[in-house]
Structure 1
Amino acid sequence: NAKSTRAFLKRVDATHPLAAPLQAQQITELPRQVHKKGDHDPAGGFDARPLLAAAVAGHDVGLVSEAGMPAVADPGASVVRAAHALGLPVVPLVGPVSLMLALAASGLNGQHFAFVGYLPQEASARAQRLRELEALVQKTGQTQLFIETPYRNGALLQGALAALKPTTRLAVCCGVTLPQQAVFSGTVAEWKQGAPRLPLDLPAVFLVGR
């Protein structure tokens, strides 16, 4: 989003002056379909190379996301892939990654884990997928991370509590890095016995492990 990016760059400029005035910075938004469908699959048909014309001409180009790390559970992979295709150097910068912060806060296996994206929205299909992930956890010990659109977080949590076994561990990390951040990690039985009220209207990361 151009407006929030300008606001971010203004805050950066206050402590680390930009190489060029903010008014001279050119900001281009990724197309809306990239946000809706993702852009990590080359077969998706989105060619990001035209967005990097300034980089090809010798200028620095930065990839910014609204929250978290670009191209990790967020759009941007097509831009990075295009940079490689054009022979441009790619330099990742340190920043908040909600998946890793949630994993660190969960107490679950951080040595062996997988991010599986979004689960099915339909209740029975979602329950089946949750049981598949639970079986994988029990077989391999691999922590499973997934996310949902905030307005469906409540339904996902209730679906997980209904589908998973009482001894399976479930962690939910809401609003990571925000003042309202809240994390609860425990067995499904412990969740049912009285988990705290979480701000599920915020972006959240769900983790299943043992």
Structure 2
Amino acid sequence: MSGTLYLIPNTLGEGDADALAHVLPVPVRQQAAALAYYIGENAKTTRAFLKKVGTERPIQEIEVRELNVNTPPADIDKLLAPILAGTDAGLVSEAGCPAVADPGALLVRRAHQRGVKVVPFVGPSSILLALMASGMNGQSFAFNGYLPVDASERAKRLRELEQLSRKANQTQIFIETPYRNRAMLDALIAGCAPSTLICVAVDLTLPGETIVTRTAADWKKQAAPELHKRPAIFLLLAS
């Protein structure tokens, strides 16, 4: 009989055990502490996460394997092999919920194909937290990942997303590399219609958490929060 693949949420930024306890329910931490096999994007940071969780066995006795953007698809079955042999495992992302905008989705898909039970646990998702706090449409929304880096291509994509939002009354959500956050906000303010709502959610669940929703016109009139090198989620809703 195969083991179970548990999807273990992580924190959305650096923090100690107290910070982890703030965002992960007790049953999640208990299950995370009991597992002897982990799959994560980075072995070092996965072990740091386990240290904060407080494991039932010494961390050096816990097997940790990596699954990231550099993992060949052919290696997915190798990661799944201990689970098929009966070992319960935890899948953990660098931040937030595993398998959401995360390479762990490949492992979860393969687990279903091989008949492995998959159990998702409750934890912070920056995408959903930003949507909840934005005041935008939570009935219809789309996550678009990263937008083009090139300024003209990014502006074109933003126009497309704004048109889609207006036509479908759908919230559009996307992210950016932290050091390009300001360029993204500037592009939104410059390219969107004055009445389009723009939300920037920064450092979610962290001490510096800042969430601001304004029309594009109001963003032009008021100061923006400091965004440089801070994890951020961007949302827009056109009327």
What TM-score, normalized by structure 2, do the two folds share?
Answer: 0.78
| 2:178 and 2:227 in contact (8 A); partners too | no
1:153 partnered with 2:194 = no
Offset, 1:170? 0.3
Counterpart of 2:119? Answer: 91
Q: Which runs of 4+ in 1 moved over 6 A?
A: none
After TM superposition, the structure 1 = structure 2 runs for residues 40-59 of structure 1, keeping only pairs within 5 Å, are 45=73, 47-59=75-87
**Partner Cα separation in structure 1 for residue 195 and residue 74 of structure 2:** 44
| 1:182 and 1:199 in contact (8 A); partners too | no
Offset, 1:32? 4.6
| 1:174 and 1:198 in contact (8 A); partners too | no
Q: How many residues align?
A: 197
Offset, 1:141? 0.7
Q: Secondary structure at the match of 2:121?
A: coil
Unaligned runs of 5+ in 1: 35-43
User: What one-letter code is carried by the residue in structure 2 that aligns with 1:167?
Assistant: S
Q: Secondary structure at the match of 1:62?
A: strand
**Partner Cα separation in structure 2 for residue 25 and residue 56 of structure 1:** 18
**Partner Cα separation in structure 2 for residue 84 and residue 174 of structure 1:** 34
User: What one-letter code is carried by the residue in structure 2 that aligns with 1:198?
Assistant: E
Note closer, same or farther for the CA distance 1:12–1:80 as it changes in structure 2 (3 Å cut): same
Q: 1:6 aligns with which of 16, 27, 47?
A: 47
| 1:182 and 1:198 in contact (8 A); partners too | no
After TM superposition, the structure 1 = structure 2 runs for residues 124-143 of structure 1, keeping only pairs within 5 Å, are 124-143=152-171
User: What one-letter code is carried by the residue in structure 1 that aligns with 2:44?
Assistant: K
Unaligned runs of 5+ in 2: 1-41
Considering only aligned residues, what root-mean-square deviation do their CA atoms show, in Å?
Answer: 1.6
Offset, 1:47? 4.5
User: What one-letter code is carried by the residue in structure 2 that aligns with 1:11?
Assistant: K
Q: Secondary structure at the match of 2:173?
A: strand
Offset, 1:45? 4.4
After TM superposition, the structure 1 = structure 2 runs for residues 128-207 of structure 1, keeping only pairs within 5 Å, are 128-207=156-235
What TM-score, normalized by structure 1, do the two folds share?
Answer: 0.88
Offset, 1:200? 3.5
Identity between Structure 1 and Structure 2 (%): 53
Offset from partner CA, 1:9-28 (integer Å, 9 cap, x none): 12222xxx53x432211001
Offset, 1:198? 2.9
User: What one-letter code is carried by the residue in structure 1 that aligns with 2:62?
Assistant: Q
**Partner Cα separation in structure 1 for residue 215 and residue 94 of structure 2:** 32
Offset, 1:199? 3.1
Counterpart of 2:70? Answer: 33
**Partner Cα separation in structure 2 for residue 56 and residue 187 of structure 1:** 51
User: What one-letter code is carried by the residue in structure 1 that aligns with 2:46?
Assistant: T
| 1:103 and 1:110 in contact (8 A); partners too | yes
